[in-house]
Amino acid sequence: MESLDWKDLSAGEITKRVTSKVCPGSIVLFHNAAKHTPEALPGIIEFLLQEGYTFVPISQMILTGEYTIDHTGRQCPA
């Protein structure tokens, strides 16, 4: 999911967007040059950990081999 941090949203707006839209299996995109992302990340991380989420390398999430991609952009095993 896109954090939209590049649109110069405030830290609160970034936090609200991410925490309201994240779901199991989400990959959240942040940009390293976004102005308010460093302020937003601690709260986002704390929230996600409290909700039982874990953080894993992207290599553990991306399917290999045969798969399709549905209309939402999710990979589905073939």
pLDDT per residue as tens digits for the range 1-51: 899 999 999 999 999 999 999 998 888 999 999 999 999 999 999 999 999
Check pLDDT > 90 for residue 58.
Answer: no
Q: Where are the alpha helices (DSSP H) in 9-77?
A: 11-21, 37-50
Domain ranges of the chain: 5-77
Q: Identify the pLDDT of residue 1.
A: 87
- Chain Cα centroid distance, residue 68: 21
Q: Identify the pLDDT of residue 78.
A: 87
The two three-digit tokens of residue 50, written as one number: 């409290």
Global pTM?
0.79
Mean pLDDT of the chain: 93
